[in-house]
Structure 1
Amino acid sequence: MRVGEYLFKRLKALGVRHTFGIPGDFVLPLYQALERTSIKPIVVTHEPSAGFAADAYARIKGLGVALVTYGAGALNMVNAIAQAYAERSPVLVVSGAPEIQDRRLDALVHHKVRTFESQLIVYQEITCAAAALNDPRTALEEIDRVLDAISRRKRPGYLEIPRDVVFATGARSQRAGLPARRPDPAALREVMGEVVARLNRSRRPVIYAGVEIERFGLMRKLVRLAEKLNLPVVTSMDGKTVFPETHRNFVGIYMGRVGSPEARQVVERSDCVLMLGALLTDVSTGLFTARVDQASLISASSEEVSVSFHRYPDVNLVELVQFLLTTRAVKRRALRIPRRRRAALAAPPGSLTTRAIVEELNTFLAPGRFTVVSDVGDCMYACVDLRTDTFLGPGYYNSMGFAVPAAIAAELAWPGRRPVALVGDGGFQMTGMDLGTAKAHGLRPIVILFNNGGFATMQAIAGKKPYFRVAPWDYVGIAESVGGRGVRVQSRATFRVALAEALRSRSAFLIEATLSPTDISPAWARIADEIRSRLYAGSTRTKGVG
């Protein structure tokens, strides 16, 4: 079978129906091979958009594909794929490359950097498996190896395919799928016995769920587990919506001192925290203000389980969740689930603020109808108080530019749900022109643009600075120029009307929400206070904060 044909046959079997990218001369043979399949190429405005879109598609479908050219294409996408690696998103990057037969050491080929291997070396740093398919005899086996690694580790992989290899015939792959992982029986008995004992003797256990619950397909099992044991559930920011936020056992997002006060109370008073698939990053821990005693912690990830100070590398998250669902040894609790203090969130009735936008969205977002996608910035941290059932956002790596491309991918991956993209003015100026891509493919994202005229999150930390200003654009005009619709709103009442109008719209719809330059969400106010206390602790006595 030809190399390109085999690759796209494998991708289709894995559920891929779209790729994201921009054609270039070194990748044209791959696009030609793609034409012979039912997989549809989505051409975006810029390679970073391709990476962000493939990442979002992967989070929903289990695998996303970015198809780009050599050098100027693939290297332009490094940041987006670095984010996918950091956030454990199973993306495959497929890059074209110059022909093998023309590769002389002194050949100055366009898009080449230092050597013909430079791009491969870069991608080896941000993927779990990478291969240059320079030899058709091993190409099919290498494709299988990289795809197996992506599936197993839920991180990006990379394939580089020279132009003269795409239509070459490859040797049959001898690599069967990896056998199912079998935990060590002795380790399994020991860790499960310790987990059962710890849970049963605890008085205030809580489940703290993170992003790996979604990546490994455990969301429904998590609901069953919480209901079986009747435990309160908190999530991390990057794990938002891995547990239904309308469920009676859901408490809030735990981020130490800067997240939900109710979640903080439940976690930090607990004598047994069952941490499932959560990553203890600076973001998820509220700049490391989380206070979880390791002696009271049961932690399960895709790589190991630990109970207090005992580590079990031969047992993982999937195995622990399955055990807890099937065992009768853990007792069910009759615990009171704390209720959220909604009155504390209320914004003034007439003003349009970040808090007011979240409150209106909490009413607007009917379960099962929308996918909320957020860029980084206050639009994302405001979502600590947003209640929805599906959420995508760069909750750990925090790269700007994610929302609009991700909204496109979300609608393609999940056409029954309409995407609602939350983005700041700075983030929109990076990738917002992909509203035109949405129009080209008949997609209907609702884009809510938080226009405060600058980087308000930075201003909340360091004060007013000229370099925090964002150039004013006619965002409504831009949306209309690419075939969408748009409105500009300045009050809570007009924002509510705009949401209703957007819902009726049959095209991409942008709502430009005009905010005060000093408006920030309650969550970011707490984060900014924390950062200021660290940045200026030693300098305020001599220089001031300024």
Structure 2
Amino acid sequence: MTVKIPLAEYLFRRLHQTGLRAVHGVPGDYNLTLLDHVIPSGLEWVGNCNELNGGYAADGYARVKGIGAIVTTFGVGELSAINAIAGSYAEMAPVVHIVGTPMQNLQSKGVKLHHSFCSGAPRDYELFAEMYERVTVAKANLLDVETAPAEIDRVIRACLEQSRPVYLRFPMDMVGQMVPESLLSTSLQLPPVLNDLGQEGVVAQRILQKILDAKQPMILVDGGASRYGLSRHAQELVETTGFPTTTTPFGKGIIEENLPNFHGIYATVGDFDYDSYVKGCDLVVNLGPVHSNVNTYYFATVPKEDITITIDRTSIRIGEEEVAIRPGPVLDRVIESLRFSESFPVKPRDELPTSDTALQQLPDVNPTDKFSQSIFWRRMSHFFRPGDILLTETGTASLGARDFVLPRDTTLINSSVWLSIGYMLPASQGAALAQRHIVQSAETNSQSATPQGRTILFQGDGSFQMTAQEMSTILHKKLDMIVFLINNNGYTIERLIHGPEESYNDVAPWKYLECASFFGVESTESYPTLKARVSTWGELDEVLAKRDFHSGKGLRMVEVMMEKEDCNDTLRLLLDIYKAKKG
């Protein structure tokens, strides 16, 4: 006898098989029966305060766990989330967006339902899906119970394979349609990466020869390396060659920063002036390039094409010639050949100026002095430890994070493309939950999480106000988090761009540290909520030294009082470039 299960259960159990353990979103009358199947399928339901925040949270979860999911209702719900999904598309985060839609017969008749434009035309029910076409890599409308399971599988595979969001419409009358449970036993794993072996060998040999012939080489690692599954390859290439290595801001955290040939973020401004070295390079290996203006100091750090080997998701470009090929197996061949080549190991050709990647003595400060962002961010590096997940909001925090010196196995989540202010607070909720699920999974399988770290958010006061409601979800789910709220009395980065004294760059003076009690949570032994306001180095050091703060549980929130127009040198230099380009 064939055992059958509801189609909605099939979807959520399939997602569970990918490693997903939570579904974010907001209930609505077109998705309520769909949500009935989330928890029975072994997933945790996270009700967010609105759909935009839910999309941000699913994105943050995906960047840690490898896939995220959000459920919204038709029309008003999905359009509220589209900014977050567009950000996931721009920055390559694998998120499955599931939309509960009206019953099929009502759609086909063009019935004037709420959340639609009420034109009386069936086309009303296609418009929102058309909007999503440009910000997703696959979509499906589950209209036929015979094909629906295969459509679900196709969309999920596209999400995982391309590391970008997908869109799934789920009509109300399809939720309870029954499908064979045995379909779940079919592997959902991605097909193996296959290249033409002859072509793979030729490309690998060409890259190997370029590396062996190089007199002044360097490696530049960008954010695409992690999104394309090339983080291991990047790390091994850096270790095996010993070549001088830098990252872009978006690529920071992919390479271990304690390597002797690692030289921080590549830039051609300020204290990180590698320009003279790079101009003399005869080889640049660029892994996972994301050449946005913010990620390249307004395109100043885009390497010259004729000397560059560009490693992309589905292609490798050697100079001006591009070959359509999956890069992972090619790089495996190159690395293996280097390890057994008589020409390697070579002495690291380390002619770059010292970038001070190892943690040095704490900068001397007077305990009674107020903060300076030129010191603050590097000094905070001493607070980090292996396994931490660090999130830095767009603005002074994100630019300040370029000064961080990261311990091994640290994850840095920043934004170098979409830059949607307010993203990081909900994203930190998703990241903290994903971290909890990784630890729980390791404990269930009698393994130790390697290593167990903390979720640490750096957020400005203006961006906090954008999505502050999601602090209630963090508290409701009792997530362990550390929040450094940078209070510089408004939108500092906007002030520095234009209008330093204009009222449109001001924000209301909230009592940020009271958010826990406002959202109905009082400090308890099982879930403490610690808070502190600091204005001097001495006050900050006193807080950081407390065991229940640096190694405790619960929500630990520090309001860091900064000067209104203070920023680190990197941001100031970047803004100078921006203004020069604009002028």
State if a TM-score over 0.5 links the two structures.
Answer: yes
Identify the match of residue 311 of structure 1 among 314, 322, 334: 322
Shift of 1:13: 0.8
Distance 1:471 1:41 in 2: 33
Partner of 2:199: 187
Shift of 1:504: 5.0
Give the aligned CA root-mean-square deviation in angstroms: 2.4
> Contact 2:161–2:190 (CA<8 Å) still a contact in 1?
no
Distance 2:396 2:425 in 1: 16
> Contact 1:374–1:392 (CA<8 Å) still a contact in 2?
yes
Residue identity opposite 2:460 in structure 1: G
Whether 2:354 is the aligned partner of 1:339: answer yes
Task: Provide closer, same or farther for how the CA distance between residues 203 and 336 of structure 1 changes in structure 2, counting only shifts above 3 A.
Answer: closer
Distance 2:399 2:48 in 1: 27
Whether 2:125 is the aligned partner of 1:116: answer yes
Identify the match of residue 99 of structure 2 among 91, 95, 105: 95
Q: Secondary structure at the match of 2:56?
A: helix
Partner of 2:524: none
Partner of 1:149: 158
Shift of 1:377: 0.8
Partner of 1:542: none
Shift of 1:101: 2.4
Partner of 2:258: 246
Task: Provide closer, same or farther for how the CA distance between residues 486 and 471 of structure 1 changes in structure 2, counting only shifts above 3 A.
Answer: same
Residue identity opposite 1:407 in structure 2: S
Report the TM-score when normalising by structure 2: 0.86
> Contact 1:378–1:524 (CA<8 Å) still a contact in 2?
yes
Whether 2:465 is the aligned partner of 1:429: answer yes
Report the TM-score when normalising by structure 1: 0.92
Partner of 2:488: 452
Partner of 1:494: 539
Whether 2:372 is the aligned partner of 1:362: answer no
> Contact 1:206–1:266 (CA<8 Å) still a contact in 2?
no
> Contact 2:49–2:470 (CA<8 Å) still a contact in 1?
yes
Q: Secondary structure at the match of 1:33?
A: coil
Residue identity opposite 1:322 in structure 2: D
Distance 2:355 2:46 in 1: 42
Residue identity opposite 1:379 in structure 2: A
> Contact 1:257–1:290 (CA<8 Å) still a contact in 2?
no
Partner of 1:300: 311
Deviation readout 1:320-360 (Å, 9 max, x if unpaired): 32122211457433125453248899585422122333133
Shift of 1:497: 2.1
Residue identity opposite 2:543 in structure 1: A
Partner of 1:166: 175
Identify the match of residue 224 of structure 1 among 228, 236, 252: 236
Partner of 1:28: 32
Whether 2:474 is the aligned partner of 1:474: answer no
Q: Percent sequence identity over matched residues?
A: 27
> Contact 1:212–1:278 (CA<8 Å) still a contact in 2?
yes
Residue identity opposite 1:109 in structure 2: L
Residue identity opposite 2:333 in structure 1: F
Partner of 1:352: 371
> Contact 1:25–1:69 (CA<8 Å) still a contact in 2?
yes
Whether 2:249 is the aligned partner of 1:237: answer yes
In the TM superposition, structure 1's runs of 4+ consecutive aligned residues that sit over 3 Å from their partners are 170-179, 255-258, 262-269, 328-332, 341-349
Identify the match of residue 377 of structure 1 among 395, 416, 425: 395
Whether 2:327 is the aligned partner of 1:280: answer no
Unaligned runs of 5+ in 2: 437-451, 522-528
Q: Secondary structure at the match of 1:187?
A: helix
Distance 1:325 1:199 in 2: 11
Deviation readout 1:3-50 (Å, 9 max, x if unpaired): 111111111111011111111111111110113122101112121111
Deviates most, 182-191 or 292-301? 182-191
Distance 1:494 1:267 in 2: 42
Distance 1:213 1:291 in 2: 16
How many pairs were matched up? 533
> Contact 1:371–1:417 (CA<8 Å) still a contact in 2?
yes
Whether 2:430 is the aligned partner of 1:417: answer no
Residue identity opposite 2:223 in structure 1: V
Residue identity opposite 2:507 in structure 1: V
Shift of 1:291: 5.2
Distance 1:54 1:362 in 2: 27
> Contact 1:277–1:301 (CA<8 Å) still a contact in 2?
yes
Q: Secondary structure at the match of 2:347?
A: coil
